[in-house]
Amino acid sequence: MIWILPALVAIGCFWLNYVSNVIGQVTQGERIPPRDGKALLLVDLQSCFWEEKLYDADTRALVEAAVGQAVAEAKAAGHPVIALRQEWSIPSTRVLARVFMGGKALAGGEGLELAAPFAGMADREVVKPIQDGFKTGELTHVLGEMGVGHLTIAGLDGIHCVNKTTQAALGRGYGVTLLTNGIATIDPKKLEEVYTDLRGKGAELT
């Protein structure tokens, strides 16, 4: 019977690794044709994340100011503003979110709406079930409908959802500019490594 505990630990580690890979996968898709349109993409700026104050006051103020300015500039130029919202809806990811993320962003739960500083900014909202915003195909459809070929991206978290969505966009042929003052992370050192990687893949930083 002494083998039961090690076996359960092994199964648990396998499951955790599997679900982590599901959440963090970068999807592949067809490359888009040339397009002139531009859009501002806001990632996970939701009440359940923003109001928990995971980020210090200076970071929050910087992001709010940068996003506010970017939205104003986008609207003045006639560029759409699209908000990606996280909702954990896949059964395995719901379990992981409950156990390791305090139940934040569960589909059907509370705090899924854009946080107060960003409320009303988006022209369109797209729900994503994993970190990569292109997973369901809805974002691809919306961007195609709007004729968008270049994305300026801001939001949360820089090393997770912003990173994975940027990689998926670059892989599909979108131009990407990362609005660094509008991107927050709880691990600034790791974010610099992410920026280096994304710049090498073709992203621009501003």
Whether 128 has a pLDDT exceeding 60, the answer reads yes
> Rounded to two decimals, what is the model's pTM?
0.89
**What's the average model confidence in pLDDT over 59-66?**
96
Q: pLDDT category, 93, cuts 50, 70, 90?
A: confident
Q: Residue 128 — φ and ψ, nearest 5°?
A: -125, 140
Please report, for the chain, the start and end positions of each structural domain, with discontinuous segments joined by +.
4-205
Just give the CATH number of 4-205.
3.40.50.850
**Quick one: pLDDT at residue 140?**
97
Whether 66 has a pLDDT exceeding 70, the answer reads yes
| pLDDT tens string 164-175 | 999 999 999 999
**What's the average model confidence in pLDDT over 45-62?**
89
Amino acid at 137: G
Q: Residue 125 — φ and ψ, nearest 5°?
A: -125, 140
